[in-house]
Structure 1
């Protein structure tokens, strides 16, 4: 397996939360890495930018330029507001009711000066060039759908169970871990199951991939997959794609 080296970018926030800017994860200092919450790609970029300018005002125009315009993507004030709201909700789960991201009306935002931030660890580490664990459907999806699933995802994506439908497990393969994302992805899986009359057997598992726009109540690309998992390590999967899923 081919490996590359990455530099970890870990920060300790308010002596409570460890933030990994490289992988976009948040976890309490006493939690394991596997228990971390994964921020969406855009949410991570916004939070990382605010953290790098801790205590200083970051204008809305600056965020538009740095997060979207440099990627050649247009955005809106409403979209930025929704991401800020999402970040506040996630951060409040770790730091309580403190005002973490402060709004300056008609100007922008800054990470509260009352919140302490220190660089915890900067270390070189070896990470796999390809995910260590990739289910066959992901490989198939990338080869067939091309840019359908093209986003900046964490280095290692492991299917994560988010519930059951008719007694069969439902796994998220988007790489994003949060209560908001899990709830919206599970709702899509439930609806897709109903729309396509999929059945559940004792060897069936369902997989769901959704673009992060879904969690902001916007049209998103979705892949819903039903797999039959055989005892001899074979998988037979059926992929269903939605290019503009609307909630």
Structure 2
């Protein structure tokens, strides 16, 4: 059994695979825990699921110990992974004082594995001018490194041609700092402050020609719950990142 979500990606719960319709070579494989969370969200599409339900059905049922913090971390990772396929959509909605739900405004079509992939007639949203879209294999490698850094398992990327949207956050000198997923406007000031504090605290090489920074912040930090932060500096050559240096903060 598989699902077509938002006419943008195919999801197979049995093995945790995500892929664009008709492009199996660009698949991404979720970790077991991330897959269990997404499976629950898809199964109850459009219904708010309580945090306790996630902890019970995702962790307790497998003999594992979960927490609100670990749930927040996996939700954050899922959001960023899903954004690889359709950054114009908000897939997972936070329901205050309850938990999370899969956006009811997105279509979810259940299919058998034998079904032919349907033709998608709806046009994809036009990329906003402020976004820059590159075919950078290194960005997918960076997302994989983030998963390793968070101790969440690995993200398997089978193709170097998957498109990843990056969004400008601020600049260090003439070097841009990008985020890998949209941040609410209310979070920008704090995110910029965090990025500058990290650059002042560590000895990352200075801004040089063809240098860019990528910044990853767990959403839980903006809710005062603490979390993890990743800042990566990359040097580009001929449109590709050739060297990268990453600074991790496991507790911020």
User: Which range, TM-score by smaller chain?
Assistant: 0.3 to 0.5
Q: TM-score, normalised by structure 2?
A: 0.47
From the CA coordinates, give the structure whose radius of gyration is larger.
1
Q: TM-score, normalised by structure 1?
A: 0.48
